[in-house]
Structure 1
Amino acid sequence: MMLGGATARGVSLIKLLPPFRFRFKHSSALSKTICFQVYSTEASPGIERVTHEVLKEFLATVENAPTSNAKVYYGYIDKIRKAGNLSVASKMLEILNDKNIVVTLDVYNLILVEASQKNDIDLSSQVFRKLLLSCESPSATSCLKFAQAFSKVNDCVELLRFLEEISEITCSSTSSFINKIIFAFAKCGQRDKSLVIFDHLKRQGYGLDLVTYNIVLDILGRTGRVDEMLDVFASIKDTGFVPDTVSYNTLINGLRKAGRFDMCFVYFKEMTEKGG
């Protein structure tokens, strides 16, 4: 049975420590009690003390010096991460968001990397949501680490539900965000999930752009799915977009790899006639 990221056969046994509570004041003059559930190991008897000390320093900094350098917050969260308390690290990000404290993408990526290595989709989703709520634009690295957490998940139902939710709350361009996600899943070897995301969001009428279609054309071309590639290319015009040079070149390269040289000539001629 898994508990706190370790197995019963592991070197040490994970135990649940009493919740750690810390009270601090909001700008509204109302106080709030933060309750952290902390995990410890018998092999590290000092982990409880270290964790509590780091949390006290972190919360004191949030309350008394919220504009501290982002490296300071990175350091606190990194110490908690190294202690194996990823859920606590996620809670720390939530507090920073609640207090409108801006930190760099490195802080979020720190936990996303760990979550992807553990294939922890719940934690990865929590942190990714916090990243979007911070109004930071997710980097390619953030999206890639998020996608990697789903590498051992076959069912896309929860993934699609989550993407629908965060597509509505993202402060960045919706199409740009979707493009990064689709590309990230393809880059880490989950091309089928990329195509499922594309098909679902297309049916739901989400903001796709020409870049989205070009990315999908490339995915289909690399996997030799010629008929689907041709259908996607044809649907570009149905959406009101005009295929550009990237669209044509991607299509032609995919056809060439599949040995469809006759069609390569047809689309090359069409591209040149359109001034491509």
Structure 2
Amino acid sequence: MEFGASLVIHRYHIGESMLKSHGRYAYRTFMLLSKTDPLVDCDEACRMLIRHGICHSSMFYIVPSKFINCCRPVATQTISDGMKSTDQFSNQTISSMGNDLVASEERCIAYIGRICRSSDAAKLLQDLRNRQILLSPKAYNEILLMAGERKNFELLFQIFKDLLASGNSPSPAFFSILASAFSDTTDSGHLLKFVGDVSELTFPRSAAIINRIISGFREVGRIDKSLLIFDHMKNLKCKPDVVTYNIILDILGKAGRIDEMVREFTFMREANVIPDMISYNTLINSLRRMGRLDLCLVFWREMDGRGFIPDLRTYTALIESFGRSGRVEEALDVFNEMKRKRVRPSIYVYRALISSLKKVGKSDLSNCLLQEMNSCITTLISSKDFKRKKK
């Protein structure tokens, strides 16, 4: 055993020397060495490749798979005979943290990539967390990708727990990756169990986390999963809040599912969730896109009755809806009300109103509005202003 260990160190030093002097050529040389010498340590080899700039951490979990293909009997043996157990690996990681944090983290990603299909991967993260060792958000994203590809749902949940425990708020990219992991699963049981576990783990702030999961599925185009989680959420201890309903109203509205959108708005009020300005604007804009001026007016009046002050988005939807219906006088009334209430118009509102007036033959009025728009065009809200607000 001592001879074997010294030989590994000997090969390691040869490899490191080659890496320093030969750059990318050393990668191919090390690959050949790993084929012929069963004592080459794959993890150490990969770590050297990163340390010397021959590959970077974002491709790290791909590199070891190439090494494993070259020396699979060794990799299988080291896992099966306990020489590379998760406990031993945790101890190695802890001991090396003070020396090179980045290399230790990268080695951890590579090791999890090798055992990702087994329950040992989740146990390793749990062990590291118990020892107060938490990885960076970037590292968790990389492991999340691997767990999603291999459908290791236990590991997915462990990653989620670790990220929350680290005090780092998961990024939108994290939730998109998470959604992608569940997107092509036909068994909804795994997803609903995951959501239920997250709800229990994060209560009483569960709604905020689950809302981001719902949004993640919306971002990857799986609104069916978003709606599934929403329905399941009604049976959990944490119930949908106003943000949840606003997300669902937006999803249904953009999908053209107007009847379902209005029905969910009704259920929202029955559940004693009070609609806000975003709720009404989402409704009115979705109805405007579908040409439902009748319902636009219903919700506008309800909104006014509840004391909400319309903003530019509300006025834009109403002016455009009236204009499309040929009711230009009412469109002008709304436009004048907007100016009286000192809501700054946009270029789009002017252009929509001018176009509507031209269609009904009111050229004089349209020309007056065109001159008015040109005289104050530098003060009007443009599409660039909307983009800045979104950022």
Q: What is the TM-score when the length of structure 1 is the normalising length?
A: 0.71
**2:100, 2:288 → 1: CA distance?**
52
The CA deviation at 1:91 is 3.8
Distance of 1:119 and 1:189 partners within structure 2: 19
Q: 1:218 corresponds to which residue?
A: 250
Structure 1 residues 121 and 175, CA, compared in 2 at 3 Å: closer, same or farther?
same
Q: Does 1:148 align with 2:180?
A: yes
In the alignment, does 2:111 pair up with 1:80?
Answer: yes
Over residues 248-269 of structure 1, what are the superposed CA-to-partner deviations in whole Å (9 max), with x where a residue is unaligned?
Answer: 1111122223332221122123
2:70 maps to a residue whose letter is A
The CA distance in 2 between the partners of 1:129 and 1:145, in whole Å, is: 16
Q: Is the 8 A contact 2:249 2:283 kept in 1?
A: yes
8 Å Cα contact 1:255-1:264 kept in structure 2: yes
Matching residue's letter, 1:78 = I
More strand, by proportion: 1
Q: Does the alignment pair 1:271 with 2:303?
A: yes
> How many angstroms does 1:58 deviate by?
5.5
Q: What secondary structure does 1:79 align onto?
A: helix
Q: Deviation at 1:140?
A: 2.3
Whether 2:92 is the aligned partner of 1:43: answer: no
Give the equivalent residue in structure 2 for 1:71.
Answer: 102
Structure with greater helix share of residues: 2
- Contact 2:122–2:158 (8 Å) recurs in 1: yes
Contact preservation (8 Å) 1:217, 1:250: yes
* Residue identity in the other structure for 2:178: F
Higher mean C-alpha displacement, 262-271 vs 48-57: 48-57
Per-residue CA distance 1:76-123 (angstroms, 9 max, x = gap): 2233256x4325554432221111223322222111122334455454
Query: How much has 1:212 moved relative to structure 2?
Result: 0.8
Structure 2 residue identity aligned to 1:176: A
8 Å CA contact 1:221–1:254 kept in 2: the answer is: yes
| Equivalent residues of 1:224, 1:258 under 8 A apart | yes
Q: What's the CA shift for 1:205?
A: 4.3
Structure-1 residue corresponding to 2:60? none
Report the TM-score, using the length of structure 2 for normalisation: 0.52
Deviations 1:53-76 (A, max 9, x none): 8986752341x4667775344222
Q: Give the aligned partner of residue 293 of structure 2.
A: 261
Unaligned stretches of 5+ residues in structure 2: 1-64, 310-391
Identify if the C-alpha distance between structure 1 residues 207 and 100 changes in structure 2 by more than 3 Å, giving closer, same or farther: farther
CA-based RMSD: 3.3
Tell me the residue number matched to 1:29.
Answer: none
Write the letter of the residue equivalent to 2:308.
Answer: G
Where does the alignment leave 5 or more consecutive residues of structure 1 unmatched? 1-38
Contact preservation (8 Å) 1:136, 1:172: no
User: Quick one: which amino acid aligns to residue 111 of structure 2?
Assistant: I
- Change over 3 Å in CA distance of 1:205–1:120 after alignment to 2: closer
What percent of counterpart residues are identical?
Answer: 35
1:160–1:58 distance in 2 versus 1, CA, 3 Å: closer
1:50 positional shift: 9.9
**CA shift in 2, pair 1:269/1:77, >3 Å:** same
Compare relative contact order (CA 8 Å, sep 6+) and give the higher one, 1 or 2. Answer: 1
* Cα distance in 2 between the residues matched to 1:179 and 1:133: 19
2:197 match? 165
Aligned to 1:208: 240
SS at match of 1:149: helix
**Larger Rg: 1 or 2?**
2
8 Å CA contact 2:151–2:181 kept in 1: the answer is: yes
